[in-house]
């Protein structure tokens, strides 16, 4: 049976937080919208790494609990939940002039950002290319 690997921290999470859009967020303070850094980069990396590891651990626990479960179904369910949370977290602040929310101010903008993020995270995964890919070279 194939196993969803038990992974710790993703190798590039800390370096890529800025490119993942975690740089700044809008926040209501003293009656005006202002931009602020949500936390130091190390705190953001810890949050990202923790969420990543917990998602992988949850997939492993679900697969361990039901040995007959289809791993694709488990992965699809985890992805659906992650998408719901991601979309919820990317609701624009409501200020039409907010520069941080501009890329996600429409459903189409959120979809474009999601596609960009999925491509980036997938290409950085050690499982993006596998020895059993149909286009893998054979000697």
Query: Is the model's pTM score more than 0.75?
Result: no
For the chain, give every domain's residue range.
13-124
What pLDDT digit, counting tens, does each position of 111-126 carry? Answer: 999 999 999 999 999 8
Longest dimension (CA), the chain: 66
Residue 34 DSSP symbol: E
pLDDT value, residue 36: 45
pLDDT value, residue 35: 42
- Residue 15 Cα distances to 42, 86, 98, angstroms: 10, 20, 26
25-52 burial, b if ≥16 CB within 10 A, otherwise e?
A: ebeeeeeeeeeeeeeeeeebbeebeeeb
């Amino acid at each position: 049976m194939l196993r969803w690997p038990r992974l710790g921290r993703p190798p590039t999470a800390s370096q890529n937080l800025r490119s993942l859009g975690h740089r700044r967020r809008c926040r209501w303070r003293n009656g005006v919208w202002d931009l602020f850094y949500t936390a130091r980069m190390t705190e953001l990396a810890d949050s990202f790494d923790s969420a990543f590891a917990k998602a992988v651990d949850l997939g492993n626990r679900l697969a361990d609990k039901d040995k007959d479960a289809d791993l694709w179904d488990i992965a699809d369910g985890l992805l659906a939940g992650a998408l719901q949370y991601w979309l919820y977290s990317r609701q624009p602040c409501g200020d039409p002039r907010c520069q941080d929310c501009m890329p996600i101010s429409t459903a189409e903008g959120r979809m474009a950002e999601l596609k960009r993020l999925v491509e980036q995270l997938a290409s950085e995964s050690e499982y993006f290319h596998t020895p059993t890919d149909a286009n893998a070279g054979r000697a």
